[in-house]
Amino acid sequence: MKNITVDSHPFADQKPGTSGLRKKVKQFQQPHYLENFIQSVFNAIRGNDSFAEKALVVGGDGRFYNREAIQIIMKMALVNGFGKLIIGQNGLLSTPAASAVIRKYQAFGGIILSASHNPGGPDADFGIKFNTANGGPANEELTEAIFQHSLSIDRYQMVEAEDIDLSQIGSQQFDKLSVDIIDPVVDYADLMEQLFDFQRIRELLTSANFRMHFDAMNAITGPYAMTILEQKLGAPAGTVLRAEPLPDFGGDHPDPNLAHAQDLHKRLSGDHAADFGAASDGDGDRNMILGANFYVTPSDSLAVLAANATLVPGYKDGLAGVARSMPTSQAVDRVARQLNLPCFETPTGWKFFGNLLDAGKITLCGEESFGTGSNHVREKDGLWAVLFWLNILAVRGESVEDILKQHWDKFGRDYYTRHDYEAVTNDGAELLMTALREKTQTLAGLQLGSYQVESADDFAYTDPVDESISQHQGIRILMRGGSRIIYRLSGTGTEGATLRVYIESHETDINKQSEDPQNALSELIDLASQIAKINHYTGRNKPDVMT
Ligand code: VG1
Ligand code: CO
């Protein structure tokens, strides 16, 4: 084994986005690209004295290039002074499990290899992110420091050595570095068992009149769902669909929405529909919830979990507070108001919940993008949300649809949709946002069709814990009565730009709560494209994806 220092040169594009650095696999495979980024991470976190004593957790969602990347990271960690690595068997760890493992073993932090819901394979996407000791994504200050290091890096260090075999659980020594290979599921499954009433969920899942399906989308949650749902909770064999993690996710997008989970959707449709359906994404942090012939928006899901939290053992004493990302619908705000709980509105991206969770200001939080989580880890957690729902269903003994309808009856329904315009030109997208930003100054008070603009701005967030400020987090057009139109550009894409338009409106009339959201929101949808001149700037006259 020989230590080497490799001369390198900076790449200008290693700025982490909403959730780490995401690029095409081909880009990561260029000489020095991955190594530069890892060295930049190590350079940014060096100086912390626990570097050598504490462990670094490493794992990923199993996508193409996961194995190669882990070997490189190990060889770099050794020379960079780490004393111990904790690695999921075969290099696998879901994002929420990585967070749980970092916390449980009081690790220094972790490196998660994933591009989440983006497709995988030699021509698709790869990603890396660094999580800190609380188990959560690095904050903006740290990701910026990593980026700055990447702009000036001229060398990195590693050993020349054979690859390590990651297939056997146990400890081994890699020169001075001890490497613990752990079962990727056990610690996570234990944590779930502490939070939820497994006995009651087991009764539900084994009863003759309840049927569920979970679509793991050929991604990382397969082994977790098999262990927890089928083995521990007794769900019938075949409950988990597409359970084997594949490096290319079977060629599909591991993105839990109706378009990408068609088989699941079919099983939840029609006269013979199953009672409950759920899916998770590539790295296991997202969730989609379905009832028989019924789709639950992620924003509503968060609100229902908050309203029913005390039915679940892990939350039986109530919630400290809740938070949602700015574009997420205001459904949870209504629950918070009723329960007299603090409710926070953060920018998009899980990293913004970290301080609120660490400070004990919130217990539950979520995003419209199929993300829900709590203070049990510092990432959003797909299977956790599924178990939360199952626990509620087991206690209430009602259907998903009935639970939602009662919820809307009590709080009103927040009609909600997100329209994505994918892979538009960067220039067009930037011009559109710049023009909108200017326009916000003239919109207040205007009557637009049946809506009157109350205020418009570019969302800025001051973190209530450390008072750091994050600007330019999305254009908000707020109407009288609470309807909203929001625009922002995605920070996770790898091709051109993606414009996201979020549209919502509150309906308290119980007789008007069963419409298709696209119809209920049609006037606002039209307004949204006129105000931003979407066709003019992007050349598109309809979105690529509507959720
Ligand atoms: C998207 C979602 C955001 C989420 C992020 C990471 O970001 O909108 O809510 O936190 O993905 O999720 P963007 O910048 O593309 O809108 V995941 O499951 O990719 O870790
Ligand atoms: Co994800």
- Neighbouring C-alpha atoms within 13 Å toward the C-beta of 293: 6
pLDDT of residue 401: 98
User: How many domains does the structure of the chain reveal?
Assistant: 3
Same domain? For 28 and 106 the reply is yes
Q: For the chain, how many residues are written?
A: 547
Q: What is the whole-number distance in angstroms between the Cα of residue 370 and the centre of ligand 1?
A: 9
Q: In this structure, what is the dihedral angle of CA atoms 79, 80, 86, 92, given to the nearest 10 degrees?
A: -90
Residue nearest to atom 17 of ligand 1 (CA): 116
Q: Is the pLDDT of residue 1 over 90?
A: no
350 Cβ inside 6 Å of ligand 1? yes
Same domain? For 212 and 359 the reply is yes
Q: What is the whole-number distance in angstroms between the Cα of residue 441 and the centre of ligand 1?
A: 28
Ligand nearest, relative to CA of residue 94: 2
Mean pLDDT of 267-286: 97
pLDDT of residue 493: 77
Question: How far apart are the C-alpha atoms of 115 and 124, rounded to whole Å?
Answer: 10
Q: Burial-class residue 496 by CB neighbours within 10 Å (0-12, 13-18, 19+).
A: middle
Q: pTM of the full predicted structure?
A: 0.94
Same domain? For 41 and 115 the reply is yes
Same domain? For 43 and 22 the reply is yes
Same domain? For 115 and 239 the reply is no
Ligand nearest, relative to CA of residue 118: 1
Among 472, 432, 455, smallest CA distance to 326 is for: 472
Q: Last residue of a domain, which of 346, 379, 411?
A: 411
Mean pLDDT of 86-106: 97
pLDDT of residue 49: 61
pLDDT of residue 439: 94
Residue 54's pLDDT band, with cuts at 50, 70 and 90, is confident
CATH code of the domain containing 96:
3.40.120.10
- The helix (run of H) or strand (run of E) holding residue 298 is helix 298-308
Paired residues of 170 in beta bridges: 181
Find the catalytic residue in 94, 99, 116, 150.
Answer: 116
Q: Last residue of a domain, which of 411, 427, 443?
A: 411
Residue nearest to atom 20 of ligand 1 (CA): 116
Q: What is the whole-number distance in angstroms between the Cα of residue 493 and the centre of ligand 1?
A: 9
pLDDT digits 0-9 by tens, 106-162 = 999 999 999 999 999 999 999 999 999 999 999 989 999 999 999 999 999 999 999
Ligand nearest, relative to CA of residue 352: 1
Contacts of 256 (CB under 8 A, 6+ apart): 117, 215, 217, 278, 279, 280, 281, 286, 287, 288, 370, 382
Q: What is the whole-number distance in angstroms between the Cα of residue 176 and the centre of ligand 2?
A: 34
Same domain? For 384 and 426 the reply is no
367 Cβ inside 6 Å of ligand 1? yes
From the CA of 367, give the closest atom in ligand 1.
9
500 Cβ inside 6 Å of ligand 1? yes
Average pLDDT, the chain: 95
pLDDT digits 0-9 by tens, 444-465 = 999 999 999 999 999 999 999 9
Question: How far apart are the C-alpha atoms of 159 and 149, rounded to whole Å?
Answer: 21
φ, ψ dihedrals at 29, nearest 5°: -80, -10
285 Cβ inside 6 Å of ligand 1? yes
Q: Burial-class residue 49 by CB neighbours within 10 Å (0-12, 13-18, 19+).
A: exposed
Q: What is the whole-number distance in angstroms between the Cα of residue 217 and the centre of ligand 2?
A: 12
Same domain? For 370 and 421 the reply is no
pLDDT of residue 50: 66
Q: What is the whole-number distance in angstroms between the Cα of residue 95 and the centre of ligand 1?
A: 13
Q: What is the whole-number distance in angstroms between the Cα of residue 46 and the centre of ligand 2?
A: 28
- The helix (run of H) or strand (run of E) holding residue 157 is strand 155-160
pLDDT digits 0-9 by tens, 518-530 = 999 999 999 999 9
Ligand nearest, relative to CA of residue 18: 1
Mean pLDDT of 243-250: 95
From the CA of 118, give the closest atom in ligand 1.
19
- Print the domain residue range for 539: 413-546
Among 478, 433, 483, smallest CA distance to 455 is for: 478
Question: How far apart are the C-alpha atoms of 127 and 120, rounded to whole Å?
Answer: 10
Q: What is the gyration radius of the CA atoms in the chain, in angstroms?
A: 23
Residue nearest to atom 19 of ligand 1 (CA): 116
Same domain? For 462 and 396 the reply is no
pLDDT of residue 48: 61
As a 3-state breakdown, the chain gives helix, strand, coil percent values, each rounded to 5, of 35, 25, 35
Ligand nearest, relative to CA of residue 501: 1
Among 280, 348, 380, 498, residue to substitute to test ligand 1 (most atoms within 8 Å of Cβ):
348
Question: How far apart are the C-alpha atoms of 191 and 376, rounded to whole Å?
Answer: 8
Q: What is the whole-number distance in angstroms between the Cα of residue 369 and the centre of ligand 1?
A: 7
From the CA of 350, give the closest atom in ligand 1.
10
Measured CA to CA in angstroms, residue 263 lies from 240, 241, 248, 266, 277 at distances of: 12, 9, 18, 5, 11
Contacts of 23 (CB under 8 A, 6+ apart): 13, 33, 125, 126, 127, 494
Same domain? For 351 and 420 the reply is no
**Is 468 designated active site?**
no
pLDDT of residue 352: 95
Paired residues of 469 in beta bridges: 462
505 Cβ inside 6 Å of ligand 1? no
User: 10 Å Cβ neighbour count for 467?
Assistant: 8
Same domain? For 108 and 53 the reply is yes
CATH code of the domain containing 524:
3.30.310.50
Same domain? For 460 and 374 the reply is no
Residue nearest to atom 4 of ligand 1 (CA): 349
265 Cβ inside 6 Å of ligand 1? no
What letter would DSSP give residue 196? Answer: S
Q: Last residue of a domain, which of 366, 382, 411?
A: 411
490 Cβ inside 6 Å of ligand 1? yes
Contacts of 230 (CB under 8 A, 6+ apart): 236, 237, 239, 240
Residue 51's pLDDT band, with cuts at 50, 70 and 90, is confident
Strands 545-546 and 475-479: unpaired
Among 1, 16, 5, 19, smallest CA distance to 379 is for: 19
370 Cβ inside 6 Å of ligand 1? no
Same domain? For 200 and 340 the reply is yes
pLDDT of residue 46: 84
Mean pLDDT of 395-401: 98
281 Cβ inside 6 Å of ligand 1? yes
117 Cβ inside 6 Å of ligand 1? yes
Give percent above pLDDT 90 in the chain.
94
Among 492, 498, 499, 545, residue to substitute to test ligand 1 (most atoms within 8 Å of Cβ):
492
